[in-house]
Structure 1
Amino acid sequence: MDATAIVLAAGEGTRMKSKHAKLSHAILGKPMINWVVDAAIEAACERIVVVVGCHADEVRALLADAYADSPIPVETVEQAEQLGTGHAVRIALEATGINKGPVVVLNGDLPLIQPETIRRFASSIAEGDVAGSVLTMTPPDPFGYGRIQLDAEGSIVRIIEQKDCTPEQAECLLECNAGCYAFDGALLAGHIGQIRSENAQSEYYLPDMVEILKAAGERVGIYHCDDYRDGLGVNTRAQLAELTAIARDRVNARLMAEGVTFIDPAQAWISPDAQIGRDTVVWPQTHLIGRAQVGEDCQLGPNARLTNVRAGNGCVIDETVAIDVALEDDVTCGPRAYLRPGTHMLTGSKAGTHVEIKKSTIGEGSKVPHLSYIGDTTMGAGVNVGAGSITCNYDGARKHATVIGDGAFIGSDTMMVAPVRIGAGALVGASSCITKDVPDGALALERSEQRIIEGYADAKRAKE
């Protein structure tokens, strides 16, 4: 289907009371604008044009970060002066030369719109029955939405705004305008210049295209959303929270249908781009952000925040913050572990209570059980790190590497001052400060001699 999506993202969003672009505000960790663009891509639109305006640089940056490698190019066109939706669409058409095929105009603040809705909406034009179509819905409370008046054949007679509705119309006209439109591209390009700004706001309104196309002898219909939530928009922080809850429920319902267990679905926030394998259990207060991937038979949470994490099967990730890390099968983390970017934990390894790991490889079956910091380290298999041990990897100017060989045993309260290598099978005595390489199979001790002065404590107390 040779359809184009024009996404309107130029508005100020003053009711959000924010110094940021409204569409940069996230739902389940994903900016609103990206929800809409992703839906258009998944709907197989062949061209996507985003009209930016207020906070244009911020919105462009979001798009550049997310779609640099997208097979469907995402273009931006700037509406320097916000003169209404009709003006925005005209600028997009003039800048891109779009003049054929179905053109779907979407609001960037409709994050819940689903790809199938967009695809079918565009198809209503591609099939040639109508020259234009309005996306409609029947929300439980229609107050505030424009009402659609239809004739006997299902064509639009007019759109009546809430402020213009009589009590009778408000009661009987329940079909509401969701604010998205689809047009035949050639007719849209040919007639967009007829929109006028003779109104109180002196703006060019895209809904005027309905009357313009009808006056040209064309038929304009509707496409009704089966799920009214597709047409819900975000203008306030309260609506952002409301739609986040809806998105959460949709994502969690899909995952449960695929075989994932949620102890309390209302207390788990999973990115729409995350993947979770079957028979994994998600405990309350678990957050999966970005493109997290979790295998089968895992335990996630409670109180875990995992951003762009790749985890294998059988992992237990309890009360852990992990960012840009890879966990192989049967890894155990937490409670209260912090895994920073670049961490790679091999099969059967462990990061225990109050452990922080950064840019390090933890070997197969190796354990960092508690109260330790491991940074810039390559650790072999079967290593045990005692409580309170740290790799001193930063000299104030540069980071240095630590290497710990297979089967090494690191005693509690050990400082390993990088760069340093501890050999395979080596033993390091507790409370040592290791500044030199330790050979394979050796014992390393670094302690001051313990002195005992008999009777000192009793004498001190007597004197006091």
Structure 2
Amino acid sequence: MTNYAIILAAGKGTRMKSNLPKVLHKVSGITMLEHVFRSVSAISPAKNITVIGHKAESVREVLQGKSEFALQTEQLGTGHAVMMAQEELAGLDGQTLVIAGDTPLITGESLQNLVDFHVNHKNVATILTATAEDPFGYGRIIRNQNGEVVKIIEQKDASEFEQQIKEINTGTYIFDNKRLFDALKDLNTNNAQGEYYLTDLISIFRQNGEKVGAFTLHEFEESLGVNDRAALAIVEDVMRRRINKKHMLNGVSFQNPKATYIDVDVEIAPDVIIEANVTLKGQTKISSGAVLTNGSYIVDSLIGENAVITNSMIESSKVERNVTVGPYAHLRPDSTLKKGAHVGNFVEVKASRLGENSKAGHLTYIGNAEVGSDVNFGAGTILANYDGQNKYTTVIGNNVFIGSNSTLIAPVELGDNALTAAGSVIAEDVPADAVAIARSHQVNKEGYARKKAHHPSQQ
């Protein structure tokens, strides 16, 4: 039988106190809406309808080309939100999953199990439930003496007895599609919120003698939704533990997983060692044998085999095998360090390519440069690539030695085996095998320092 899905993503999320729509807040690198969409994809829906409302265009952009959309201009409750998908789904055979866009922890496996349970039990509706130690704020699952679901009662409408029930509604359901849209016509707003509750459908089905079931999650944490920043932090913590555990089971060593922050799309090979306070974000890939020491921060970058990154920041760059970076180095976007290269403390590389076994040990800026192999940068070297209006390229050949405190003013080219004397300002090309000396002539004033020391103004 065909599956369909409706993701509810129209709400503002007032308690988030944010200009950003609630479902666009990120958890481990991607929006909550994207987490939900990925989980929903596990049931392979023939149609996926995302209901949008508040800042609809911003929400649409996240799933553009992946989902169809229905616009809810007024937020009049969950039942009303599902009504917005009527044009796309009403009258179709199959079953429809309804899920909130602020529940990023629900897994695809759990949703597939929910669908299987629903189909096997021939239910008209099945609720995804969970058991909560503290059920305050959740809708409660009301069952009869036979264990059958009779209705869902919201917190504000629940009696004192009903509030003691620990089985709660996660806000995720699966319905017979045709019956869903038939029954939506019977909803009303006779409740504490004055809204169309999707949960009221359960009572409607029961009154018609139709079969309603409930499938309970194994892990309560999967059910967690996000209504405020405190809940967002809790969900982030759960997701981080889940991600780190996956990597550990795949052969990655963590010094302190509680203090390691890895986005959901990061790829890490076995035999990588990660110390505490490491952050890996975006589309980063870490190859086997790499070591990431305390404090390293890596975004959208590729780290090669056996590379060692020591307390450094790397952005949108490529680090090849056996490279060492840091401590306190910064690779800015579009940088490449070839095999065996080294950049040390307080070195910044930006939009540059550093050849094999080339080294910049300390206190150096390399910007917009093409650097060959076996090049050595002395301390304090600056590649002056910007004249205030335009940026220019520096080209450095193989086996070049850059003396300490040299400044290379781009555009400039240094040939193979060239050498610059310490303290030189190089503004013209240096031929291969040449030594460039560009500094002021030294003048010694004999006895001047002694005279200055005894000057009255110094006493």
Alpha-carbon separation, structure 2, partners of 1:16 and 1:253? 29
- Kept after mapping to 2: 8 A contact 1:125/1:184: no
Q: Which deviates the most, 345-354 or 123-132?
A: 123-132
1:209-240 Cα distance to aligned partner (Å, 9 max, x none):
21222333321111211111111111111111
- Supply the AA of the counterpart residue of 2:132: P
User: 2:370 matched to 1:375?
Assistant: no
CA offsets 1:30-86 (integer angstroms, 9 cap, x no match): 22222111222244334322212112233223334xxx6xxxx22332211111111
Aligned counterpart for 2:432 among listed residues 440, 443, 461 = 440
State the partner residue of 1:280.
272
Aligned equivalent of 2:131, options 120, 138, 143: 138
CA distance in 2, matches of 1:398, 1:100: 62
SS of the residue 1:40 aligns to: helix
1:61 and 2:61 matched: yes
Letter in 2 for 1:182: I
Aligned partners of 2:20 and 2:416: how far apart in 1?
Answer: 53
CA contact (8 A) 1:35 1:111 kept: yes
Gaps of 5+ in 1: none
Aligned partners of 1:364 and 1:168: how far apart in 2? 72
Are the aligned partners of 1:154 and 1:221 in contact in 2 as well (CA < 8 Å)? no
C-alpha distance after superposition, 1:143-162 (max 9, x if no partner): 22222122455431111223
What is the CA distance between 1:100 and its match in structure 2? 3.2
Q: TM-score, normalised by structure 2?
A: 0.94
Which shifted more, 140-149 or 345-354?
Answer: 140-149
Render the CA deviation track for 1:124-149: whole Å, top value 9, x for unaligned: 34446111111100122222222212
Instruction: Tell me what 2:259 maps to.
Output: 267
- 2:105 corresponds, among 109, 112, 133, to 112
- Residue 341 (1) aligns with residue 333 (2): yes
Which of 206, 218, 239 is the aligned partner of 2:198? 206
Shift of 1:413: 1.2
1:363-415 deviations in whole A, cap 9, x for unaligned?
11111211111111111111111111121111222211111111111111111
For 2:140 and 2:360, the matched residues in 1 are separated by 63
User: Matches of residues 23-62 of structure 1 in structure 2 within 5 Å?
Assistant: 23-62=23-62
Structure 2 residue 11 is the aligned partner of structure 1 residue 11: yes
Distance in 2, Cα, partners of 1:43 & 1:320: 41
User: Secondary structure at the residue paired with 1:206?
Assistant: coil
Query: Following the alignment from structure 2 to structure 1, what is the Cα–Cα distance between the partners of residues 232 and 372?
Result: 47
Matches within 5 A, 1:294-313: 294-313=286-305
Relative to the length of structure 1, the TM-score reads: 0.93
- 1:353 to partner: Cα distance: 0.8
Q: Quick one: structure 1 residues 20 and 402, their matched pair in 2 at CA, closer, same or farther if it must change by over 3 Å?
A: same
Task: Give 2:83's match in structure 1, choosing from 79, 86, 90.
Answer: 90
Distance 1:424 1:346 in 2: 18
Equivalent runs, 1:152-301 vs 2, <5 Å: 154-171=147-164, 173-301=165-293
- Residues 255 and 411 of structure 1, relative CA distance in 2, 3 Å threshold: same
| Residues 96 and 419 of structure 1: CA distance in aligned 2, closer, same or farther (over 3 Å) | farther
Alpha-carbon separation, structure 2, partners of 1:277 and 1:43:
28
The residue type paired with residue 204 of structure 1 is Y
SS of residue in 2 equivalent to 1:246: helix
Distance 2:336 2:47 in 1: 38
Q: Is the contact made by 2:274 and 2:291 (CA closer than 8 Å) also made in structure 1?
A: yes
Q: Is the 8 A contact 2:134 2:166 kept in 1?
A: no
Distance verdict in 2 for CA 1:100–1:344, change over 3 Å? farther
C-alpha displacement of 1:102: 2.0
Residues 426 and 438, structure 1, Cα contact 8 Å, conserved in 2: yes
Q: Percent identity?
A: 39
For 1:49 and 1:323, locate their aligned partners in 2 and report how far apart those are by CA, in whole Å: 35
- Is the deviation greater in 285-294 or in 206-215? 206-215
1:399-410 aligned within 5 A: 399-410=391-402
Residue 116 of structure 1 aligns with an amino acid whose one-letter code is E
287-296 or 46-55, which moves further after superposition?
A: 46-55
Rounded Cα–Cα distance in structure 1 between residues aligned with 2:337 and 2:208: 66
Go from structure 1 to structure 2 and tell me whether the alpha carbon gap of 1:20 and 1:43 turns closer, same or farther (over 3 Å shift).
same
For residues 224 and 453 of structure 1, what CA distance do their matches in structure 2 show?
Answer: 89
**How far off its partner does 1:88 sit?**
1.0
Amino acid at match of 2:174: A
Aligned mate of 1:390, from 382, 391, 414: 382
Matched-pair contact (CA < 8 Å) for 1:99–1:188: no
- Paired residues of 2:24 and 2:31 also in contact (CA < 8 A): yes
Can you give the 5+ residue segments of structure 2 that lack an aligned partner in the other structure? none
Choose the corresponding residue for 2:95, options 78, 89, 102: 102
**SS in structure 1 at match of 2:113:** helix
Question: Size of the alignment, in residue pairs?
Answer: 456
**What is the alpha-carbon distance in structure 1 between the residues aligned to residue 180 and residue 89 of structure 2?**
14
The SS at the match of 2:280 is strand
Separation in structure 2 between the aligned mates of residue 182 and residue 138 of structure 1, nearest angstrom: 19
Structure 1 residues 459, 309: closer, same or farther in 2, change over 3 A?
Answer: same
Amino acid corresponding to residue 27 of structure 1 in structure 2:
V
CA–CA distance in 2 between the matches of 1:86 and 1:259?
46
Could you tell me how far apart the structure 1 residues matched to 2:436 and 2:29 are?
47
Q: Are the equivalent residues in 2 in contact too, given 1:414–1:433 (CA < 8 A)?
A: yes
SS at match of 2:63: helix
Q: Supply the distance in 2 between the matched residues of 1:349 and 1:153 (Cα, whole angstroms).
A: 71
The letter of the residue matching 1:353 is N
- Partners of 1:250 and 1:364 lie apart in 2 by 38
For 2:7, give the aligned amino acid. V
